[in-house]
Amino acid sequence: MLKKIRTECSVEIDDVFVVKRLGRSVEGWCAGCGGTATMVTPEDAATLVGTGARSIYRLVESGEIHWAEGPETLVLICLCSLLERAGQDFHTE
């Protein structure tokens, strides 16, 4: 008798984030992560997690997410720390 074994795998995706690089996100150094990270504007960060820009600034002020100062005193948010704070995993390839 020949016995067949069949293995099935299923993958469930909860959320997918697409960050288009239109000059509003850059790869930069994140001192909090200790490496390079995708940095986005506070407005884009707010859109990604479904909140207002003021909430993002509060997280910056309280030190709950990583940030860096860009050109002309522009605040840039570390996407990895933002998504970690939001309770989501973000993997870069």
Neighbours of 55 (CB within 10 A): 14
Domain extent listing, the chain: 25-85
What would the pLDDT profile of 65-91 be if each residue is shown by its tens digit? Answer: 999 988 788 899 999 999 888 875 444
Residue-level pLDDT at 71: 79
42-49 vs 53-62: helix crossing angle, rounded to 10: 110
What would the pLDDT profile of 18-76 be if each residue is shown by its tens digit? Answer: 655 445 678 888 999 999 999 999 998 988 888 899 999 999 999 999 999 887 888 99
